[in-house]
């Protein structure tokens, strides 16, 4: 046989071996992901607040990925209306997102939400896979906001653990990888300073002190809960966001467009004046306002997904906001509310 023929046969054999090897690697990786991925059976995840842009983005992202998501929100809040609008308009065949009234600052609503969650779990499920606490508020506004920030961020974190840890522990008994409680952890070391630059004098010092107290309070609460809940197989995980300050973490969805409204038409009791902070501009029938809940890039959301499904989650993960590259960039998450 001629040398060129031998070379040709060797190259073809090498190409065939490479193709078979790649196929085997793909099948092995798919098998490992299937073993640990709960989406196939649509495990339940609770996001405590859809009233923040971050919570709304996480809830809709996980729902689109196939998770069964419960989203806490205020009964008359913008988050509920935007979530319902997203469910109606999304191209997904069957969005798995439901809302329930929840406010971490109110014990009665937390207890009622926990009871409602337990009563409406699908057959075969005795608990929820994870709770992602996105509720809270910034301290912009000085000392006047200290009490609400500490009550919502720190005490709210403890209340969420007390209300939903039984459901997390029940899920952990059914599945070794379930039972995960996520908190938004420390922001960057310069987060307080970045807030302070927007103010001057005494107010600047108050903003910085309040932001530091709130963020370190959440960190301390998470570390304490991690020790106390470990015996019940509940993992407490901190999601650090080094590129965001507390004002960005807890900001509501941002209004992108304002509904058209003739200047001659006066305000009515059914209309609401809104700003770029995300409040609904108008509720008149037939009109719409567009909002964005884009806080994290896709790469950061994938880190969160990994933290949800990995067999042994770390104590903390970093959700960096470095922009996606051109081949993974997606448009801002947008919703239209009628």
pLDDT in tens, 41-63: 568 999 999 999 999 999 999 99
CA-to-CA dists, residue 252 to 52, 219, 291, angstroms: 4, 23, 10
Looking at every residue in the chain, the average pLDDT score rounds to 76
- Nearest residue to 290 (alpha-carbon basis) of 262, 330, 256: 256
Indicate if the pLDDT at residue 217 is higher than 80. Answer: yes
Are 326 and 298 in contact by the 8 Å Cβ rule? The answer is: no
Percentage helix, strand, coil for the chain under 3-state DSSP, each rounded to 5? 50, 15, 40
- Inside any domain, residue 166: yes
Higher-confidence position of 7 and 281: 7
Task: Quote the CA–CA distance of 216 and 254 in Å, as a whole number.
Answer: 27
Stretch 153-160: mean pLDDT: 91
Which one is predicted more confidently, 265 or 150? 150
**Which residues, other chains included, contact 157 with Cβ-Cβ below 8 Å and sequence gap of 6+?**
104, 133, 183, 218, 221, 222, 225
Residue 29 pLDDT > 80, yes or no?
no
Between residues 330 and 14, which one has the greater pLDDT? 14
Tally the domains of the chain: 1
Name the percent of the chain lying above pLDDT 90. Answer: 33
**Confidence at residue 268, expressed as pLDDT on a 0 to 100 scale:** 31
Residue 328 lies in a domain: yes
Q: Give the dihedral sign, CA 15/16/21/22.
A: positive
* Residue 9 is assigned to a structural domain of this protein: no
Is 279 a member of any domain?
Answer: no
For the stretch 246-303, pLDDT in tens is: 788 888 998 876 655 443 333 333 333 333 333 333 233 445 678 888 889 999 999 9
On whether residue 33 sits in a domain, the answer given is: no
Pairing of strands 44-47, 130-133: parallel
Higher pLDDT: 182 or 322? It is: 182
- The band of 138, judged by pLDDT with boundaries at 50, 70 and 90, is confident
Total-model pTM: 0.74
pLDDT of the residue at 262: 43
* 323 occurs within a structural domain: yes
**Which pLDDT band holds residue 71 (cuts at 50, 70, 90)?**
very high
pLDDT > 60? residue 183 = yes
- pLDDT higher for 20 or 320? 320
Asked whether residue 172 is assigned to any structural domain, the reply reads yes
> 11-20, 72-81, 136-145, 219-228: which has the minimum mean pLDDT?
136-145
Higher pLDDT among residues 115 and 329, named by residue: 115
Q: Which domain holds residue 169?
A: 39-257+288-337
Residue 164 has pLDDT above 60, yes or no: yes
Find the mean pLDDT for residues 292-318: 92
In a domain, 267, yes or no: no
Per-residue model confidence (pLDDT) at position 26: 61
Here the CATH number for the domain that contains residue 214 is 3.40.50.720
């Amino acid at each position: 046989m001629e040398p060129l023929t031998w070379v040709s046969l060797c190259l073809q054999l090498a190409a065939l071996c490479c193709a078979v090897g790649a196929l085997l690697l793909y099948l092995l990786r798919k098998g490992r992901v299937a073993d640990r991925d709960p989406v196939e059976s649509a495990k339940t995840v609770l996001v405590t607040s859809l009233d923040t842009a971050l919570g709304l983005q996480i809830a809709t992202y996980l729902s689109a990925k196939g998770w069964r998501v419960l989203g806490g929100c205020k009964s008359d809040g913008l988050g509920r209306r935007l979530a319902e609008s997203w469910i109606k308009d999304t191209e997904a065949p069957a969005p798995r997102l439901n809302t329930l009234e929840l406010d971490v600052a109110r014990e009665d609503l937390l207890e009622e939400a926990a009871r409602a969650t337990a009563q409406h779990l699908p057959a075969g499920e005795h608990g929820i896979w994870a709770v992602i606490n996105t509720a809270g508020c910034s301290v912009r506004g000085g000392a006047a906001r200290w009490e609400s920030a500490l009550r919502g961020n720190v005490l709210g974190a403890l209340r969420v653990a007390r209300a939903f840890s039984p459901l997390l522990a029940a899920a952990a008994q059914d599945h070794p990888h379930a039972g995960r409680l996520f908190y938004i952890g420390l922001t960057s070391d310069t987060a307080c300073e970045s807030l302070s630059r927007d103010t001057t004098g005494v107010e600047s010092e108050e903003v910085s002190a309040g932001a530091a107290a709130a963020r370190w309070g959440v960190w301390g609460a998470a570390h304490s809960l991690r020790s106390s809940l470990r015996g019940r197989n509940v993992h407490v995980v901190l999601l650090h966001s080094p590129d965001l300050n507390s004002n960005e973490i807890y900001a509501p969805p941002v209004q992108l467009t304002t509904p058209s409204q003739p200047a001659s038409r006066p305000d009515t009791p059914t209309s609401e004046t809104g700003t770029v902070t995300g409040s609904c501009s108008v509720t008149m029938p037939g009109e719409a306002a567009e909002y964005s809940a884009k806080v994290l890039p896709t790469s950061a959301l994938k880190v969160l997904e990994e933290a949800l499904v990995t067999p042994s989650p770390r104590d903390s993960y970093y959700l960096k906001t470095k922009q996606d590259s051109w081949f993974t960039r997606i448009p801002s998450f947008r919703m239209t509310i009628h």
